[in-house]
Amino acid sequence: MRIGELASRAGVSVRSLRYYEEQGLLTSTRSASGQRHYTDHEVERVVFIQRLFAAGLSSRTIAELLPCVDSPSEENSDAALERMAQEHDRLSERIADLVRTRDALAGLMAMAQAHRVTMAQAHRERLRSAVGD
């Protein structure tokens, strides 16, 4: 099948498929005229690559995991599991950083709200004083 059909069947853009090839995640054969050709197997591979991207993995990390798919072995499986554990830890730390940042922003918002209330009360007091004069 040609690149457009693979894109349609896998639910991705042609541009994504070209990117996957550039990154070494996908291979094709070329016709005499230079057109890319793929097998049905590549549909499953592209769907799998999409799932890895959706899990927050980079193309470099995905390339490190693909030997487990291309050459299944206990060693490749162990290496893939270890790499995924590293990515899981990295994402967990990133989430913790985001939670800290969100909490700091919530604190600043509370301070700003309290300041706004104080300013409004002071303004009302000034108006009362001005009217009472």
Q: Assign 130 a pLDDT band (cuts: 50, 70, 90).
A: confident
What's the pTM? 0.73
Calculate mean pLDDT across residues 118-125: 93
- Report whether 3 contacts 43 (CB < 8 A): no
DSSP per-residue letters across 79-93 = HHHHHHHHHHHHHHH
Per-residue pLDDT tens digits for 39-83: 999 999 999 999 999 999 999 999 999 999 899 999 999 999 999
Name the DSSP letter for residue 71.
S
pLDDT exceeds cutoff 90 at 86: yes
DSSP state of 113: H
Distance CA 18, CA 61 (A): 18
In this predicted structure, what is the pLDDT of residue 133? 62
